[in-house]
Amino acid sequence: MRRRRRRPRLWRVAILVLAAIFFLGPLASAIRFSLEQSNGRDGLGNYTQLLHDAALSSSLATSLEIAALTTAIMLSLMLPTVVWVRLRLPRLALVVESISVLPIVIPPIVMAAGLATLQSHASAGLSDLVFSSPLTALTPVYVILAMPFAYRSLDVGVRAIDLRTLVDAARSLGAGWPTVLARVILPNVRTAVLTAASLTVALVLAEVVIAETLLYTTYPVSLVNAGQAQLGVAVALSVLSLAITWMLLLAISFIGNRGASRARIGRLL
Amino acid sequence: MTAVAVHLDGLVRRFGDLTALDGLDLHVAPGEMVALLGPSGCGKTTALRLLAGFDYPDAGRVRVAGADITDLPASRRDMGMVFQAYSLFPNMDARTNVEFGLRMRKTPAAARRARAEEVLELVGLGAHAAHYPHQLSGGQQQRVALARALAIEPSVLLLDEPLSALDARVRAQLRGEIRRVQQRLGITTLFVTHDQAEALSIADRVGVMHEGKLEQLGTPEEVYERPATPFVAEFVGTMNRVSARLTGDGHLEVLGASLRASGPHAPHAAGELVDVLVRPEALEALADPHGNATIAERTFLGSFTRMRVKLDDGCELLVDAASRRGLPEPGVRVSVRATGEDALLAGDGAARTGS
């Protein structure tokens, strides 16, 4: 019994070590490299240079704004859609799911080219309204790009609850549809909502092609630009952005866990 | 709270080619509890959903207290409902669940809280107000669901197989409690179930449904003792189908006894052979070496014992007897006799022996 259990365990360790080398190796190298300064000595020079880069911090602020707005719009569009499809159009579920994948199927450059044409031919009014700021120009595009991930994770969450019974119960107690969504469905698919939000944030913080083509300096775009100018700074930047993204995702899951642990505390009492 | 009457008038509901309700007429008197009983697919749940407002009829009207509410959405119907599946909101504790309907009605917080405590006390869960659904047993969850439905002082209470997910002991107990609460509040109630014992034991009147229509509506005793149709006879309780000979004066020769013929039937000529339905408790099987049958199987069911008896002509019957010593063993020859007073003429339908 013991011998039989030992071998798979050894394999597990081996795979873990291999995976760690694969993922942590480049990361460690990047950190090591980012600490090499242009004067040849080791130090935080590349990082301090970043902190003084005003363009970079402003682009980060822009991207975070876009991420927040995209997430809010995505949720307020997608959650009702998923619920409606599950309740009223279950036969169309597959069709809607296929449609939601389209943004993945269409290459970003095609979308970018189309938008660029629209941008250059836009009337003055449309330009002022939409294309004057990256927030109004990119948010709608990112909502569409986030659709495949958001739809799927929300659908999984909604499928896991007894949607019809909960909705019927709330309706018979006098709740209108907005209340049903906000107070009954949303709290019970919180994990799925957080997953969808995480994926959306990660997408906004990584999308380069469309932002670059439409000439907006978002955070990932300035990351690429910085990399072309100074290699050490660029690597420092990617390490930093990795840390920021992780922190964001951690914060989102922390918010989610707080809600869950409140229920868990209730269980103990 | 004054009790109101519920009228379902000629309700028709079709799903594609399937007719779930085929002109259902049902009148529930104020404060009365009516159980809709029937096999799955008979339309009983559809009827309940139409009354609740979760679905709309293709034809017919729904009236409560005289007012036509057919086109009113569920959220404005003022009905309390308990569902088959556990329906408590998982993110709220018992009290918040119960308060939900009052919150929707903008009841002030203090009144809401007081009312929630009151109804939780009514269903015996006053001490569990701060528990979340996952901390409650199935029976407790359904009680909270009942409390939640009652908190809004609904004009009508709807129960959609609320006990079917529970185990037998809890089911019997909760059944009694639902009835007690319903009678105490005097609330008009429609109860949907496929369990005949449940329907017979809890309701003032039982409506047996079949293929989207009401086959019979009557007190539990009427439905059991004087089934209007062969379907009702065989769905409610257990029935034997035996062949009998008509004698001239509306009587039947059944297993050596003369019984009064009942039920709807075309006039038959005297001497004609017909099928009749007889309950197992209206038969007796006595050990008799010269008898016409053999005991095939004997099942002890507590207060009574059920025997499967094989007649010499190949026909099988179920016979119930009060459990006592000396009942014939399997393999023993017996003579089977009808002991009742009347027998229901079976239609040429889907009657099944001993089902």
The reply to whether the predicted model has a pTM over 0.80 is no
- H or E stretch including A34? helix A2-34
Both A120 and A166 in a single domain? Answer: yes
Q: For residue A49, is it within any domain?
A: no
Q: Which of A96-110, A210-224, B120-134 has the highest mean pLDDT?
A: B120-134
Residue B205 has pLDDT above 80, yes or no: yes
Both A92 and A215 in a single domain? Answer: yes
- B104 has a chain A CB within 8 A of its CB: yes
Q: Check CB contact under 8 Å for A266 and B131.
A: yes
pLDDT for res A256 = 65
Q: For residue A200, is it within any domain?
A: yes
Task: Tell me the average pLDDT across A41-45.
Answer: 80
Residues of B in contact with A170 (CB under 8 A): 89, 100
* pLDDT tens-digit map of A74-100: 999 999 999 999 998 888 888 988 888
pLDDT for res B351 = 37
Both A107 and A167 in a single domain? Answer: yes
Q: Is the CB of residue A248 less than 8 Å from the CB of residue A200?
A: no
Q: For residue A14, is it within any domain?
A: yes
Residue B353 has pLDDT above 90, yes or no: no
- B127 has a chain A CB within 8 A of its CB: no
* Domain total of chain A: 2
Q: Are strands B205-210 and B33-37 parallel, antiparallel or unpaired?
A: parallel
Task: Tell me the average pLDDT across B167-172.
Answer: 85
Task: Tell me the average pLDDT across B191-202.
Answer: 90
Percent of chain A surpassing pLDDT 70: 92
A129-138, B6-15, B61-70, B346-355: which range is least confident on average?
B346-355
* pLDDT tens-digit map of B8-57: 999 999 988 888 899 899 999 999 999 999 988 888 999 999 999 999 99
Both A113 and A80 in a single domain? Answer: yes
CA-closest candidate to residue B285, choices B244, B240, B334, B343: B334
Q: Check CB contact under 8 Å for B91 and A188.
A: yes
Min Cα separation B49/chain A (Å): 10
Q: For residue A4, is it within any domain?
A: no
Both A108 and A230 in a single domain? Answer: yes
Domain span at residue A242 reads 54-268
pLDDT for res B99 = 94
- A265 has a chain B CB within 8 A of its CB: no
> Please, which residues bridge with residue B240 across strands?
B278
Q: For residue A152, is it within any domain?
A: yes
Both A122 and A254 in a single domain? Answer: yes
Q: For residue A2, is it within any domain?
A: no
Both A194 and A110 in a single domain? Answer: yes
Global ipTM: 0.79
Contacts for B135 with CB less than 8 Å, ≥ 6 apart: A266, A267
- B148 has a chain A CB within 8 A of its CB: yes
Taking all residues of chain B, what is their mean pLDDT, rounded to a whole number?
87
E strand map for B31-155: 33-37, 59-64, 67-68, 79-82
Both A63 and A195 in a single domain? Answer: yes
Q: Give CA torsion, residues A109, A110, A115, A121, to 10 deg.
A: 120
- H or E stretch including B76? none
Q: For residue A3, is it within any domain?
A: no
CA end-to-end span of chain A:
42
* pLDDT tens-digit map of B208-230: 999 888 999 999 998 888 888 88
Which site among B45, B49, B79, B83 would you substitute to test the A interface, given the most A Cβ atoms closer than 10 Å to its Cβ?
Answer: B83
Taking all residues of chain A, what is their mean pLDDT, rounded to a whole number?
84
Both A37 and A141 in a single domain? Answer: no
Task: Tell me the average pLDDT across B329-354.
Answer: 72
Task: Tell me the average pLDDT across B198-206.
Answer: 91
Q: CATH number of the domain at A174, please.
A: 1.10.3720.10
Give me the count of residues in chain B.
355
Q: For residue A48, is it within any domain?
A: no
Residue A255 has pLDDT above 80, yes or no: no
Both A141 and A18 in a single domain? Answer: no
Both A19 and A151 in a single domain? Answer: no
Task: Tell me the average pLDDT across B178-195.
Answer: 91
Both A155 and A127 in a single domain? Answer: yes
